[in-house]
Structures are given as C-alpha cells and as structure tokens.
Amino acid sequence: MKKRSVVLAAVLLAAAVVCTVSCGKKEETAKAKLVYWTMWNEAEPQGTVIARAVEAFTKETGIEVEVNFNGREIRKTLQPALDAGETIDLFDEDIERVLNTWGNYLLPLDTYTAKAYSTTGGKPYNTVVNQTLYNLAKELGGGTVKNIPYQPSAFVTLYNKDLFSKAGITNTPKTWDEFLTACEKLKVLGVPAITVDDAYMACFFGYNMDRLVGEEATLAMVNNKDFTGPQVLEFGKIWENMAKKGYISAKAASNIWPAGQVEEMAVGKVAMYLNGTWLPNEIKAQAPDLNWGAFAWPVMSENGDGIEANNYGCQSFAINKNTKYPEEAFKLIVWLTTGEWDAQLAKESIGIPAGNDTVWPTQLAEAKVIVDNTTNRLDWAVGMENDPEINAKIKENFAKLIKGDLDAEGFAAAMAK
C-alpha cells in the first residue's frame, strides 16, 4: 500500500508541475493583444507620435498593440474587413464618418468614459477632456458616446500676425467694416489681404452666406437647390468690390490647391486665409517661422450669424463591438488622448489637444478662444459641399467673379441657373 501511495503521490506531483507550466503558458497566450487600424500614415506627425505612444503603452501595461497604418485608404478598406470578421479592436477616422459609415460596429462607451484612469489624475475620463467635443460626440451618437474625439480642428480665419502688426492692425476684426479697414491697411502695406484655393471656395461661399443670412437659410439654399435669393447678388457685389480694390489676391481665381496656401500664405504674400486649424501643420515646411493668429469670420449682416457660429470637428477613436478586449482598447484611447501623449500629438502635429489641461501649440493659441466661445456648430462648408454639382458651380463662378469675367449680376444669374 505504501508503495502504491508513493507512486500515486509522484504522479500527482508530476501532474501538478505539468499543470503549472502549461497553465502559465495558456495564461500568457491569452493576454490581450489589440489590433488598431488608424487613418494616419506612418510618416505623418500623427503616425510617428502614435507609434511611439503605443510602444510606451505596451511597456507600461504589458498589452501588445498591432498598429495598421492605413492612411486615408481606411475609408475603403475598413468596411470589408469588418464585414469579413477580421480582428480589429479599435480604429479611428472623422467623428461623423465613423458614426455614419461604421455605426453598426460601434461599442457604446459611456461606462468606460465614467471611470478614472492612470493619466486622468483620479478624475473620470469624461471630465478631463474637451467638453465641447465630448458633448458633440454624445449629441451625434443620439445621447450615447460611441466614439472618442481627438485631433480636434476648427474652421477659422488664419492670419499672419507680423503682417498685421506692420500694417498697424492692433485688433482682429469682428465686424465687416473692421475687416474692410484691415484690408485697406494691408493694401497700403503692399499685401493683398486674403487668398483662397479651389478646394476651399465652397467653404468660403458658405461662410459668407451664413454671415449674411444665417445657417438655416444657407442650408435651405443647398437643400432646395435654390440660389435665386438676394444674398447671392449681395455676395457677388461684395467680392466684385473686394477684387477691384485688390483686397483678394489676383492669383486666387486660378489657385489650384495647395497653391494659395503654399505660394502665397506661407511666404507672406497674403495676410489671411479662411481655412482649418490644420493649416499651420500642412505648410510648416514652407513656413516654419510664420507667426500665426486666428479669428472667427466677422459679422456681415444683422440677419446672419455672428462670430459664435463656426464649424469644428475632430477625428475620433471607436471600439469594435466584437472586440474581446474592450477595457484594454479603451485604456489605449485614454493613453492617447490625455497626459503626455495628448501633448505630444498636439505639439508635433501643431494640432488642438483633446485634454482640458493640455497646452495648445502657440500657433493655435488664438484659435482656442474661438473654439471655447463657439455656441453654434456649423456644418462643414455650411452645406455647400453636400452636393457635388453645387460645389462645382461655386468654384466655377466665384473664380470668374474675382477674375472679372463676371460682374455681381452675372455671378448671381449663373448661380441661379
């Protein structure tokens, strides 16, 4: 009996050793490994920061992350991959595109945003990030947060502060009369006030319409395909006059993106450009020392919106509802949108940070005031790019207007067709 007991004990001990080794291996292979598809290319500032941030995240947490740098091709490649059941734990893209295109795959995130994390200072995540953008995510998600904003942007009037100073412009214009005064001072300095590229002409027209008749009436023009209103003629008169006075660059009519921003704005040949807060990053190679400022497009009419109405948006992170690792995926999102890596992303991309306490790049310091005081979020281009035909019409006829091939009446008649 003793011999059998000894043998049995030996067998059990061996089994325990085998179990310990094998169980340890099993636990190790079961450790979370995230697959993250990103809209950035590896060589972009955002891509390089994300690569470093992910490496630091793995070192800190032990959670492995496979990053697939898709670039803008993600708009074509993500849907079939999700439909095929490919392992994708989280991905990023424009906040509205994520909701509208891949909404069926989104995991609701309210539970996760209510928790505190290592980089949130003991506070719930949803209290330490930009509240304007967090509320936008909740609104667009129908009351539920389904994607997390980051890399915010706003559509503002970017200007060369040194040229303004040389021209004696001490305050940024808030009204159209003040804007015209600034344009005249810049003309005296020998600099056209503003330029535009073909890619932004519809945005330019949309913002002017908003300031002339308001958002609702502007969107109605697009929705009804009706450009017969008096505001179109008024716009024509304003910009026919701006061109004749030399306030808008003579090159603007023929600028094919990015000619205006690279060949004019970057080198100080014009002082202003109605564009996004991404512009300083886009042309930093051509304008490394440009002294950037920003203001909201000025008030043009008592019937239009004021400087509190602006377009803003962001990219966003989303978690696939089919992920096996939702907690780990959200921890990575927190890692990228708060603390050190939020700051690095803002600094190296000259972009707006996601965190409340993260310092904004100096190039966008004045844009912060605009974002913080925006109470009415406008659609992109105030709807003028929603219809390709309308977009093309604006480009064609606005170019003719500022070139002098159409007068205000001719512009209005062409847009009414």
DSSP code for 254: G
400 and 301 inside one domain: yes
CA distance 193 to 203: 18
For 142, half-sphere exposure in the C-beta direction (CA atoms, 13 angstrom radius) is 5
Look at residue 239 and tell me if it is in a domain. Answer: yes
Mean pLDDT of the chain: 93
Note the helical H segments in 32-168: 45-61, 74-83, 95-102, 110-113, 125-128, 131-140, 161-167
**Which tens digits make up the pLDDT trace of 175-186?**
999 999 999 999
Look at residue 22 and tell me if it is in a domain. Answer: no
**Would you place residue 46 in the very low, low, confident or very high pLDDT band (cuts 50, 70, 90)?**
very high
128 and 164 inside one domain: no
332 and 263 inside one domain: no
256 and 324 inside one domain: no
338 and 384 inside one domain: no
Look at residue 15 and tell me if it is in a domain. Answer: no
192 and 213 inside one domain: yes
pLDDT, greater one: 277 or 372: 277
Indicate whether 19 pLDDT > 70: no
CA distance 167 to 314: 34
**Which tens digits make up the pLDDT trace of 127-155?**
999 998 999 999 999 999 999 999 999 99
Q: Is 387 helix (H, G, I), strand (E, B) or coil?
A: coil
Look at residue 271 and tell me if it is in a domain. Answer: yes
**Would you place residue 30 in the very low, low, confident or very high pLDDT band (cuts 50, 70, 90)?**
low
412 and 271 inside one domain: yes
357 and 245 inside one domain: no
How much is the pLDDT for 31?
84
289 and 334 inside one domain: no
47 and 112 inside one domain: yes
Look at residue 3 and tell me if it is in a domain. Answer: no
**Which tens digits make up the pLDDT trace of 206-260?**
999 999 999 999 999 999 999 999 999 999 999 999 999 999 999 999 999 999 9
170 and 127 inside one domain: no
**Which tens digits make up the pLDDT trace of 376-407?**
999 999 999 999 999 999 999 999 999 999 99
Look at residue 21 and tell me if it is in a domain. Answer: no
Integer Rg of the chain from CA: 27
DSSP code for 299: B
**Domain containing residue 391: CATH number:** 3.40.190.10
Look at residue 18 and tell me if it is in a domain. Answer: no
Instruction: Please give the residue range of the domain that contains residue 351.
Output: 32-152+313-361
111 and 51 inside one domain: yes
CA distance 345 to 45: 8
| Entry pTM | 0.86
Q: Which residues contact 63 (CB under 8 A, 6 or more apart)?
A: 31, 32, 33, 34, 57, 325, 328, 331, 332
**Would you place residue 11 in the very low, low, confident or very high pLDDT band (cuts 50, 70, 90)?**
very low
Number of domains in the chain: 2
CA distance 119 to 125: 9
CA distance 142 to 152: 20
Look at residue 367 and tell me if it is in a domain. Answer: no
